[in-house]
């Protein structure tokens, strides 16, 4: 697998990564071990986790750390801090403060069983803490060698610009990546965040690249939901699914079928080809899903194919 740089950094990462949010919630340790082993077999070296994943603080991190074992130094490990525990998301109180960051990084290092993080990301912007305080705390971690690079998540373009201005003005470590929701069906960051990232050399890490499975191709309009699937458990896909979105999936399927490509191929191949995207970090629960993601990421669509896919998906309705 051809590696690419993570933003302006010298970290070489795989264009397909492993989203680890299912570790501890939908995956036990044996399943986690199998996914991580398959990742290495496929040449995938990028693992994205967060301290809140797994249903309990640091659970997913601990499971990833155990699965990596002696292969830790062959992996690029990213984790996040500053989010509330639970399904609601959003910033933890004081989640960008120096005190919070100091405690959070030590917990993550311990749970992952490592003495450094390749990438440490602020999970949600903290309106109650000046960005200067957040950046000074993160810069201190970089200087201590506990963190190699830093990033942000769920920041707007204006927030990223402001953070970059502070970092440059005070000679602090700047963000190297921005992790935001981005897919064929959710593209609002293209007019806000992406232009800032391209100007500053900041990589984009899309989350929900498959819209929690809607773009995997396994959910089709008018067909029964696969037993045990997320959409079956949610009784229809929750906010990810709508009549309009199912229509887009059907049109993508028709376009892909004519070219021997699946909806999954179109969704991942299109994202990997976007200039700002550093790696596509889809969550998986089984090794075979990662195999499919890597195969999709190896497809290099031509310019006219990218334009056609974009035109089809542009009719999507945001969730």
53, 100, 120, 182: which one is catalytic? 53
- What's the token pair of residue 259? 């070219």
Q: What does the radius of gyration of the chain's CA atoms come to, in whole angstroms?
A: 19
At what angle are helices 303-313 and 243-257 packed, to 10 degrees?
160
**Among 280, 309, 313, 285, which residue's Cα sits nearest to residue 295?**
280
**Closest among 312, 214, 298, 194 to 258, alpha carbons compared:** 312
Q: Is 255 tagged catalytic?
A: no
Give which of 318, 195, 168 is closest to 245, Cα–Cα: 318
Of 231, 305, 317, 236, nearest to 267 (Cα)? Answer: 305
- Given strand 175-181, what is the order of strands in its sheet? 203-207, 175-181, 147-153, 117-122, 76-81, 46-48, 16-19, 280-283
Active site residues: 53
């Amino acid at each position: 697998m051809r590696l690419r740089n993570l933003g302006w950094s010298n970290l070489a990462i795989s264009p397909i990564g492993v989203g680890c949010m299912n570790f501890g919630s939908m995956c036990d340790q044996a399943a986690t071990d199998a996914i991580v082993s398959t990742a290495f077999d496929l040449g995938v070296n990028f693992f994205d986790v967060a301290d809140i994943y797994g249903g309990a603080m640091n659970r997913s991190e601990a499971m990833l750390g155990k699965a990596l074992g002696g292969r830790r130094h062959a992996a690029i490990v990213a984790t996040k801090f500053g989010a509330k525990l639970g399904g609601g998301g959003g910033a933890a109180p004081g989640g960008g403060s120096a005190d919070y960051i100091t405690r959070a990084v030590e917990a993550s290092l311990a749970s992952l069983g490592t003495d450094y993080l390749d990438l440490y990301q602020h999970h949600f912007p903290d309106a109650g803490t000046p960005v200067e305080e957040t950046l000074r705390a993160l810069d201190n971690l970089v200087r201590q060698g506990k963190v190699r690079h830093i990033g942000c998540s769920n920041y707007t373009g204006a927030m990223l610009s402001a953070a970059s201005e502070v970092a440059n003005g005070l000679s602090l470590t700047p963000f190297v990546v921005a992790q935001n929701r981005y897919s064929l069906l959710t593209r609002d960051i293209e007019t806000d965040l992406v232009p800032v990232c391209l100007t500053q050399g900041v990589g984009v890490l899309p989350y929900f690249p498959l819209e929690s499975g809607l773009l995997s191709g396994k959910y089709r309009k008018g067909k029964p939901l696969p037993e045990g699937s997320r959409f079956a458990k949610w009784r229809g896909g929750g906010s990810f699914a709508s009549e309009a979105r199912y229509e887009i999936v059907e049109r993508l399927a028709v376009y892909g079928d004519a070219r021997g490509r699946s909806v999954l191929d179109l969704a991942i191949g299109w994202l990997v080809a976007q200039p700002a995207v550093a790696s596509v970090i889809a969550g998986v629960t089984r090794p075979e899903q990662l195999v499919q993601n890597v195969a999709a990421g190896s497809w290099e669509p031509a310019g006219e194919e990218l334009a056609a896919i974009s035109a089809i998906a542009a009719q999507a309705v945001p969730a």
